[in-house]
Amino acid sequence: MRFYLDERLVSQGAYEILRAFFREEFERVSFEVLESCQGFFAALWFDENTEALNMVVSDGVDIQRESIGLKTEFSSGLKPEFSSREFKLKQRRLVYRTASEFCGRNLPWGLLTGIRPTKLIAQEREKGRSEEGIRNYLRDVLYVSKEKIDVIFRVDAIERPFLESVQANSYSLYVGIPFCPTRCSYCSFPSYARNQHESWVAPYLDKLDQELRETAKLFETWTLSSVYIGGGTPTALHADELRRVIRLIRSYFSVLPELEFTVEAGRPDTLDDAMLKMLQTEKINRISINPQTMNDQTLVRIGRSHDAKAVVDVFHKAREFGFDEINMDLIVGLPGETKKDFEKTIEEIGKLQPDHVTVHSLAVKRASSLGANAYHHEHEELWEGTDRLLYRFAEENHYVPYYLYRQKNIVGNLENVGFTRPDRVNLYNVYIMSDRQTIAACGVGAVSKFVYEDHIERVANAKSIPDYLKNMEEKLEKKASLLTKFGEYDINTGKFIDSNDEDE
């Protein structure tokens, strides 16, 4: 299929919608005169003379055409700004309607691509819209299906009380460990196969020590809500190395005894008795064991060095060591898998009954080896409806969805969703997904987030270890300067300014 997109329109959103409908690998080409288009094509262009936005889809026989006269849609006489939100929305709606009419089907998520749906409804609520008004807006303007609107409101109902109780000057801490036993083919995270980069471990941990110490000083008067050690695979470190990181955190930061403290154990092949014992002794109260799939052939295909049995064994062992909060990550749409394989995976996971199940839908990123090899999903339509399977599994096993996000180029146009037992919500995930709490992030690839009343600023640490070793201090300075924007922090003294002192 050829797509002719008027480059002035520069709409990634429109592009994503077309892709979701036609599921083709296509290139964006510069606009050409329609007469020269032949066969199967879609075109989107702005006509200067009539000041109309036009969309046409054709397979050479049937043609679906729609046009919006923007002159009348926008304030009279003014050309629409192609970058304005209003224009982009109109354009996406036009593309959606035309493609949907042509294909004879709808997209369950409508115009929502690459967005956190619950964030959207929170924004609408802040504008004063009622639940009914928001539901109508999602259905009539953004073309979201009733099924998905219901999911969004279910997630919203669970996460809202936690978000409403976020205190001012509270924050969560993220610590990144960029090592793994091997590199998975779909992975785009900054992470290194440990056995090939052994000599980087010690300098990395020393630099991380320094960053943790300095970060703790910056946040000295703030209240810590949760800690999350992720990566990478933190347990790719040896037990004594990871113990050091955990103890550094406890010694520099004010970690209350009951605070949620997660270690993403990730790969079952890194969880031997010594590691589990250490994590238990260090009072880690939440771990994640991430099989992604319970099919051995797929595990080999994606570059894992363990089988499904290892997942089961490690899970039971972790329970024996007393871990009563275990998450398991799964991926829908792994290379070579079908819906049947995924069905088998959730059946196996159901037998284990973890406390949380997080399900991602494969999104191929350029930084992964799949992306580098131009992998694309075959027969993507086969994955449609997997969400129904998943929500049925959740219902039968008493899980509720508690966070939700969508990504671009996601298999089957599905969503990523975190399920939990109703009383076991993981605070860190809720905070990070909602953009409602400041996150102090340390280590390679970690992104700190400063949440102000009216906007958010981010500082991304280096994505490679050599760069991190070189410029960690620079990023730290940037973080310190962003803290001053909260208006209360004095970068010179490292203390918050007491307004009474200021008066004196």
Shortest Cβ 239–ligand SF4 spacing (Å)? 18
Of the pair 191, 438, the CB lying nearest ligand SF4 is at 191
Of the pair 233, 262, the CB lying nearest ligand SF4 is at 233
Q: At which residue do the structure tokens 């590199």 appear?
A: 183
CB 230 within 8 A of CB 267: no
Of the pair 182, 448, the CB lying nearest ligand SF4 is at 182
Of the pair 110, 266, the CB lying nearest ligand SF4 is at 266
Of the pair 108, 231, the CB lying nearest ligand SF4 is at 231
At position 85, the amino acid (one-letter code) is R
Task: Indicate the residue whose CB is closest to ligand SF4.
Answer: 187
Shortest Cβ 182–ligand SF4 spacing (Å)? 7
* 75, two tokens: 């304030």
Virtual CA dihedral for 85, 88, 89, 95, nearest 10 degrees? 180
Q: Which phi-psi region, left, alpha or beta, contains residue 448 (left: φ > 0; alpha: ψ -120 to 50)?
A: beta
Of the pair 232, 412, the CB lying nearest ligand SF4 is at 232
Shortest Cβ 108–ligand SF4 spacing (Å)? 27
Which helix (H) or strand (E) covers residue 390, if one does?
helix 386-396
Beta carbons within 8 Å of 354's beta carbon, 6+ residues apart: 289, 315, 326, 327, 328
Of the pair 44, 289, the CB lying nearest ligand SF4 is at 289
Q: Which among 277, 367, 352, 264 is positioned nearest to 322, based on CA atoms? A: 277
* DSSP structure class, residue 410: B
Shortest Cβ 242–ligand SF4 spacing (Å)? 15
Distances (CA, A) of 128 to 124, 132, 157, 454: 7, 11, 17, 17
Of the pair 230, 412, the CB lying nearest ligand SF4 is at 230
Q: Please list the alpha-helical segments (H only) found in 7-145.
A: 12-22, 70-73, 85-103, 117-126, 131-136
Cα gap 228→76, rounded to integer Å: 53
Shortest Cβ 421–ligand SF4 spacing (Å)? 24
Shortest Cβ 441–ligand SF4 spacing (Å)? 16
User: Which residues are near ligand SF4 by CB under 6 A?
Assistant: 180, 183-184, 187, 189, 191, 231-233, 266-267
SS3 106: coil
Cα gap 142→150, rounded to integer Å: 14
